[in-house]
Structure 1
Amino acid sequence: MKIPFLPVCLCFILILALTGVTHAQNKNKKPLIVFVTGDHEYSGESTLPLLAAELEKNYNMHVKVLKAYPDQNAEENIPGLETLKEADLAVFYLRWRRLPAEQVQYIEEYLNSGKPVMGFRTSTHAFNYPEGHPLRKWNAFGEFALGSPPGWGGKAGHTHCGHDCSTDVSVIADAAKHPILKGVEPAFHVRSWLYKVLPDYPAKGSTWLLMGKAVNPNKAGFADNPVAWTWQTPAGGRVFATTMGHPEDFGVESFQRLVVNAIHWTLGKPVPKKWKGKMEINVPYRGM
């Protein structure tokens, strides 16, 4: 029995059309970025929503901001972490949390998925479980998620230059052409007091982007240290990490551009060809 030629052609055309629609839908789909916040000191739950609004308005992103509940000092609850199941990018700004196992499970599943990760400042010491706790391995979150030291102090000697200190930031020459640094000034200043991550971190395989120099350090002889780098998680996810993140940093245009570029790069998208302009982010430092 012969199959009529015309119906076969029509079916083929229909398949091509549907395939084209699906491709267009995927191309135009807004990536979902999930900000996970909970820090006692740096107001990440206030700065990141302002960044999120700019990403949705000007950069075709969809963003959800998760916050510690009932406030930033609540160390044992961040509602909504199940949203990470749909996330295209997870951005962490955490400090010394002790989340329950069912919430940590969502973070673990995300990291194991090989999707990209970003982390600000105190996310190097995101968790603080006591000795003997079944989740104590998560105190090393910075190491296995960001390529940073595995928590505060310890064998890595992770510390900072003192609260009177601030940081002069400069582009590392070998990284000057990295997409994340497009439009970032060769040198700029941030209020963040410089973190010590050397000599063993950033982790092997990382690419250092920016170097920090302590200004008015409280500790003598405080060495220059990297303040931004890329890496890859054990599961293969792209990583951008920075030890900057004081709320005043978010008002610095070069820092803003760095972060927007990094979000695009971790998602595997081209960095914006055109900068949409400086964001109005004026959040005071809260302190402890």
Structure 2
Amino acid sequence: MDANRKMMLRPNLLLFLCAVFCCIFTSKTNVFAQDSKSKKPLVVFVTGDHEYSGEETLPLIAAELEKNYGMRTTVLKASPDHNSEKNIPGLESLKDADLAVFYLRWRQLPKEQLAHIDAYLKSGKPVMGFRTTTHAFNYPKGDENEKWNAFGEFALNSPPGWGGKAAHTHYGHKSSTDVTVIPEQAKNPVLTGVSPKFHVRSWLYRVLPDYPTKGSTWLLMGKSVDPDKQDVENPVAWTGTNSFGGKVFMTTMGHPDDFKLEPFQRLVINAIHWELGQKVPKTWKGKIDIQVPYREAK
């Protein structure tokens, strides 16, 4: 091969080697990016309630998790609006979830949607619930899905539904609740940085005497302020293990005004970390701006 031809080939060879190197580098970079993404836990929020605007408060919690706590989130909402009891699109995303967070009230989802929740629960993965999720479902007597009315009990260690034998009731919409940390749980990681006493707008739910289910750990107690009937103090937040072996965090708080409060916000962020098996952050990233109105239930 003559000298001129060799000189013409050298630039082409250099270009080829550069291209190969770039491909390898890009491939490794993409793999690294995918690995980094896959290491971020996925929290799926499932919302659908007539009263407490969970489909507005929880997306703000989700945004905070993504911005400041290195998590991925998906927020599912009842469709076409919060009053739709029979449709929450996207529940198939639960198959990839590391944590499922529910804020539901009296839904009647079709069995094909329930199947996704059922599969998630049976996986033994952690579950979190807010307030009316104690009575997440409300199928008529004799319906093939009637067993789901006890979702609160088998998924969240709470009363199975509303009223009835569970004596699950509250102390009136005009009342509110003083919340205190149970002294024995003061060092519980879920309560890191949570004020020992604070006041919430949520009217106190009665879950005693039979709930939370045996083996649950009570974290916070609530005392009704201006109750409409004879009251007793009740636990308002607890952890435990449900009937599927999954970790549980449940709170009967969850009025949109509660979400404005730093102690409640911190409780929620802490509980999400605990449920995921992550170290609860000692450094608080700051109060989240949550301004969501309460609406009367239909």
TM-score normalized by structure 2? 0.87
5 Å-filtered alignment, 1:62-141, equals 62-141=72-151
Given residue 295 of structure 2, which amino acid in structure 1 is its aligned partner?
A: R
| CA distance 1:60–1:165, shift in 2 (3 Å) | same
1:225 equivalenced with 2:216 (yes/no): no
Residue in 2 that maps onto 1:156: 166
5 Å-filtered alignment, 1:257-276, equals 257-276=266-285
- Contact map agreement 2:192 2:282 (CA 8 A) in 1: no
- Contact map agreement 2:193 2:282 (CA 8 A) in 1: no
Given residue 39 of structure 1, which amino acid in structure 2 is its aligned partner?
A: D
Instruction: State how many pairs are aligned.
Output: 267
Larger Rg belongs to: 2
Alpha-carbon distance in structure 1 between the residues aligned to 2:296 and 2:59: 19
Alpha-carbon distance in structure 2 between the residues aligned to 1:156 and 1:89: 27
Instruction: After TM superposition, give the deviation of residue 26 of structure 1 in Å.
Output: 6.9
Alpha-carbon distance in structure 2 between the residues aligned to 1:153 and 1:45: 25
- Per-residue CA deviation, residues 130-159 of structure 1 (Å, 9 max, x unaligned), is 011000000000000000000000101100
Residue in 1 that maps onto 2:45: 35
1:242 equivalenced with 2:251 (yes/no): yes
TM-score normalized by structure 1? 0.90
Unaligned segments of structure 1, at least 5 residues:
1-17
Instruction: Please tell me the root mean square deviation across aligned C-alpha atoms, in Å.
Output: 1.5
1:196 to 203, 206, 211: 206
Instruction: After TM superposition, give the deviation of residue 28 of structure 1 in Å.
Output: 7.3
Alpha-carbon distance in structure 2 between the residues aligned to 1:175 and 1:236: 22
Alpha-carbon distance in structure 1 between the residues aligned to 2:243 and 2:175: 34
Residue in 2 that maps onto 1:176: 186
Given residue 225 of structure 1, which amino acid in structure 2 is its aligned partner?
A: N
Unaligned segments of structure 2, at least 5 residues:
1-27
Instruction: After TM superposition, give the deviation of residue 184 of structure 1 in Å.
Output: 0.1
Alpha-carbon distance in structure 1 between the residues aligned to 2:214 and 2:43: 27
SS of the equivalent of 2:193 reads: coil
Instruction: After TM superposition, give the deviation of residue 27 of structure 1 in Å.
Output: 9.7
1:287 equivalenced with 2:296 (yes/no): yes
Sequence identity, in percent?
71
Alpha-carbon distance in structure 2 between the residues aligned to 1:56 and 1:26: 14
Given residue 92 of structure 1, which amino acid in structure 2 is its aligned partner?
A: F
2:220 to 210, 214, 217: 210
